[in-house]
Structure 1
Amino acid sequence: MTVVDIPGSKSITARALFLAAAAHGTTTLHRPLFSDDTDGFVEGLRTLGYQLAQEEQLWRIEGRPHGPAVRDADVFCRDGATTSRFLPTLAAAGDGVFRFDASAQMRRRPLGPLTQALRDLGVDLTHEGVDGHHPITIRAAGVKGGHVDLDAGLSSQFLTALLLLGPLTTDGLTITVKDLVSKPYVDITLAMMRRFGATVDHDGYIFTVASGSYQAADYLIEPDASTASYVLAAAAITGRTVTVPGLGSQALQGDLRFAGVLEQMGATVDLSLDSVTVTGPNDGKLRGVTVNMRDISDTMPTLAAIAPFANGPVRIEDVYNTRVKECDRLDACAENLQALAVPVATGRDWIEIQPAQPASTHIACHGDHRIAMAFSITGLRVPGVTLDDPGCVTKTFPSFHETMDTLRRTWNLSA
């Protein structure tokens, strides 16, 4: 059995940073993720005047319940979706003029449902370029609250941003959601808001958040379940056993359900209170499967990348939202599988992969960390798989390649 320590959850770290910044008192975060995305979030908070002290495994954040400490700021959100969506929402609760821009990659990603909801709540918000995208300017004067409708069919982050804003409004907030993808991420948000003292509830697709205040907390961030999918998949296709500590049956993250997909395919899964262990079949052959991954779509590329090693077709459904991530992930997966000489077909929201022995190829990462990491797992079984942009993994898992090298040596896999 091989034990792999996975870095802290990106999703939980981002939410914890928002909550800490908005809380009364000083919050201590234990084992937060340090990556390009979270570094960008921290940089953005500092630009807005928040005080943060960082050690390797421990960050302290001085909360400001009334908003940013400055009245004028330009924030560059880099490639970070949570940074680009959460920080403008946090700033809207303050007082001043705040401008937000992002990388070319992030400028292409949708923002419109969130910014329209903020406008509906009375926020003075202007898109400076293409409507519904960065850059934006917010002339903030607090948010009264009330009722707002939201379409979260492209990203649950739109709903999370508004939920996080709720306690900072004067009158509280009621959100009626027309469509919602990746609901487990919203469940993370609700649990963390309650941990920081908020009163929030929902009845179906109607979410109600009371006006009030967040209270500082001492918060341990669990390992990233999306990141864990790569090492779990590695064990599944090589017949090895891997354990990820800190991710067990009490974990907040829905992407841990990926282990259940591997179990459907024939891997052995042991989920304890505080760890998950996956053992691949001795012959390396997984079963074909049809799976709806709407709620765990960040792990779609991981499944697509190991699908050729199944003994039947692997069909992944209801993942349209992966087309508006760092790249069009459905097309990127299809492109790379074709380059690997694997038969594949795609539709608007699905991909189907046939069993095949992949050939060596140069993977087109499209600047997307999840494409790079997923097809690196394919390379554990296929000599000569290389990446055109290996450095893009720093977005969420800076030590990914070192971890893969360790697994190769430990499991005696050829490079």
Structure 2
Amino acid sequence: MTVIDIPGSKSVTARALFLAAAAQGTTTLLRPLVSDDTEGFAEGLGSLGYAVRRESDAWHIEGRPAGPGADTADVYCRDGATTARFLPTLVAAGHGTYRFDASPQMRRRPLGPLSTALRTLGVDLRHGGKDGHHPLDVHAHGVKGGALTLDAGQSSQYLTALLMLGPLTAEGLDITVTDLVSEPYVEITLAMMRSFGAEVTQEGRTYRVAPTGYRARTYGIEPDASTASYFFAAAALEPGRSVTVPGLGTGALQGDLGFVDVLRRMGADVEITDAGTTVRSTGTLRGLTVNMRDISDTMPTLAAIAPFADGPVRIEDVANTRVKECDRLDACAENLRRLGITVETGPDWIEIHPGTPTGPAEIATHGDHRIVMSFAVTALRTPGITFDDPGCVKKTFPDFHRVFDAFVHTP
């Protein structure tokens, strides 16, 4: 059995950085993810006047409940969706003028529902180019609060950003959601907010957030469940192989750990304990139809091993994957077809038929870290696979190729 130490969760690290910046006192984050996305978030906080001190295994953030220390700032969000959505929301509770921009890839990703919600709350927010996209300016003068309606059908990050804003408002927030994707990510948000002292209640699709502020604390970051999916998939694929990821077990916050339940349905042996999760190959992968709306970041992982199943693999209700770092549905279909696999797609689904992938072939990554890491698993049974941009894994796991190669070559 191989034991793999997975880097910290990107989702948890980003939320913890927001909450720490907003809290009264100094927060210490233990084992945060160190990657392009999280470093970009921390850099953005520094540009806004928050004190962030980084050590090898801990980051210390001095909170500013009243808002950024800088009256004006230019923040470059890189490729990070959490940075690009969370930081403009954070500064709205302060006072000053702040300009945000992002990479061409991030500029293409939608921001509109969040922008509309912030404007409903009285935030002076102006887009510098295409409405509902970066760049944008926020002329902040605090947020009174109140009630609003939100469509979070494209991204749960819109709801997360507003929920985390709630305790910083003068009167609190009531948020009614008309549509919601990736709901487990919202559960992460609620659990973390409460651990920093927030009071949140939920009645149906309405969330009520009290204006409590936040309290600083020491907070440990659990391993990234989405990143773990590549190692779990590899273990399920290769006969005789098994992998254990410690620190990601029954108490894990992240819904993407549910990917192992999909592997179990396909025939893998899965064990989840308080200490971690183990996946073992049984030598069989069965085809299935699965709704992945709540764990859509692992859709490419499943697509990458689907050709090796004994029947078709149909993945449904993943329309939101079309507005990620790239159109992941089309990217998966394109690359599987390059490998000679029969694939069908629809607006929110992909169906992959069994087949033997052919090589050599270059995978079109579209600058998406998850496409690279997913098809690295396909490459276990497909000699000659290469990537047009292997380095884009720096977004969430800069050391992925070395760690995965070591895992593959461990007896």
Aligned to 2:354: 355
- How big is each residue's C-alpha offset from its partner over 1:320-364, in whole Å with a ceiling of 9 and x where there is no partner? 000000000000000000001000000000000000000111100
Aligned to 2:303: 304
What is the Cα deviation at residue 201 of structure 1?
A: 1.1
Q: Supply the distance in 2 between the matched residues of 1:122 and 1:404 (Cα, whole angstroms).
A: 48
- How big is each residue's C-alpha offset from its partner over 1:55-75, in whole Å with a ceiling of 9 and x where there is no partner? 111110000000000110010
Aligned to 2:294: 295
Aligned to 1:274: 275
Matches within 5 A, 1:134-153: 134-153=134-153
Matches within 5 A, 1:343-382: 343-360=342-359, 361-382=361-382
Percent sequence identity over aligned pairs: 68
Aligned to 2:44: 44
State the TM-score, normalizing by the size of structure 1: 0.98
Note if 1:179 corresponds to 2:151: no
SS at match of 1:380: helix
Amino acid at match of 1:264: R
Aligned to 2:119: 119
Gaps (5+ residues) in structure 2? none
Q: Supply the distance in 2 between the matched residues of 1:409 and 1:333 (Cα, whole angstroms).
A: 26
Number of equivalences: 409
- How big is each residue's C-alpha offset from its partner over 1:191-220, in whole Å with a ceiling of 9 and x where there is no partner? 000000000111111000000210001100
Runs of 4+ in 1 over 6 A off after TM superposition: none
What is the Cα deviation at residue 308 of structure 1?
A: 0.3
Matches within 5 A, 1:14-413: 14-239=14-239, 240-282=241-283, 285-360=284-359, 361-411=361-411
Q: Supply the distance in 2 between the matched residues of 1:136 and 1:202 (Cα, whole angstroms).
A: 31
What is the Cα deviation at residue 384 of structure 1?
A: 0.7
Q: Supply the distance in 2 between the matched residues of 1:408 and 1:109 (Cα, whole angstroms).
A: 34
Q: Supply the distance in 1 between the matched residues of 2:408 and 2:321 (Cα, whole angstroms).
A: 30
Q: Supply the distance in 2 between the matched residues of 1:248 and 1:169 (Cα, whole angstroms).
A: 35
What is the Cα deviation at residue 408 of structure 1?
A: 2.3
- How big is each residue's C-alpha offset from its partner over 1:121-147, in whole Å with a ceiling of 9 and x where there is no partner? 000010110000000001000000000
Q: Supply the distance in 2 between the matched residues of 1:281 and 1:342 (Cα, whole angstroms).
A: 24
Amino acid at match of 1:226: S
RMSD between aligned residues? 0.5
Q: Supply the distance in 1 between the matched residues of 2:136 and 2:330 (Cα, whole angstroms).
A: 29
Q: Supply the distance in 2 between the matched residues of 1:53 and 1:154 (Cα, whole angstroms).
A: 34
Q: Supply the distance in 1 between the matched residues of 2:146 and 2:268 (Cα, whole angstroms).
A: 48
SS at match of 2:263: helix
